[in-house]
Amino acid sequence: MTDVALFTPEDIAAGERLVSRPWRFVKGVVALDGLPDDGWLEVAFAGRSNVGKSSLINAMVRKSGLARTSNTPGRTQELNFFVPDEDPLYLIDMPGYGFAKAPKDKVETWTALVRSYLSGRSTLRRVFLLIDSRHGIKPPDREIMEMLDTTAVPYQVVLTKGDKINVPALAAIKAATEKELSSHPAAFPIVLATSSEKGWGLPELRATLAAILRD
């Protein structure tokens, strides 16, 4: 399933050029005072634990192992910053919120870090809010959406693991998600449906990232 018709060939080509550059890990941040202060644009990938943030980042930039992946919810416990050569842009792989197989105090610490970062980072240009296509928007996602609405941080929902359900079901969850987002002032109206394994939606995600950098 793809939304490539929403993008021009030039948009898709710009996204391909961006991800064709070498990408590297810069740093992991465990507290706000460790955030970079160089003023570069930032795009964050947020979502519930085990929603597939790291897998999607790796697939998007075509670099297996750039972001650490795991089947265990809660593997990512810090804000991980990645950059492409030549461009002043950070991608941030964030700890998941919600259920995680980790001590409660650690979960509370990184959840607080996620919320603090998302609510007060001036260089943050967009949050890709990842939602598992098999489950749709859940109460913890709505809490984050309401916080982003309040702080006027632009966000865009990206459905993950789209290959795990059939095409009609994916179309239905996409439509339901877009309908719910219509009442959220900081949300982009376009929902991207993706699959890290099949490559669905990745050209559009790359094109969106290139547009953020260009604009």
Q: Please report, for residues 7, 57, 72, the alpha-carbon distance to residue 52 in angstroms, rounded to integers and kept in the order given.
A: 24, 9, 11
- Domains contained in the chain, CATH given: 4-214 (3.40.50.300)
Q: Which residue has the tokens 């050569």?
A: 85
Tens of each residue's pLDDT in the chain, 215 residues = 555 567 999 999 999 999 999 999 999 988 889 999 989 999 999 999 889 998 999 999 999 888 875 444 444 578 999 999 988 999 999 888 765 555 666 667 767 888 888 887 899 999 999 999 999 999 999 989 998 999 899 999 999 999 999 999 999 999 999 999 999 999 999 999 999 999 999 999 999 999 999 88
Predicted local confidence at residue 115, as pLDDT: 83
- Separation CA 111–CA 97 (nearest Å): 6
pTM over 0.95: no
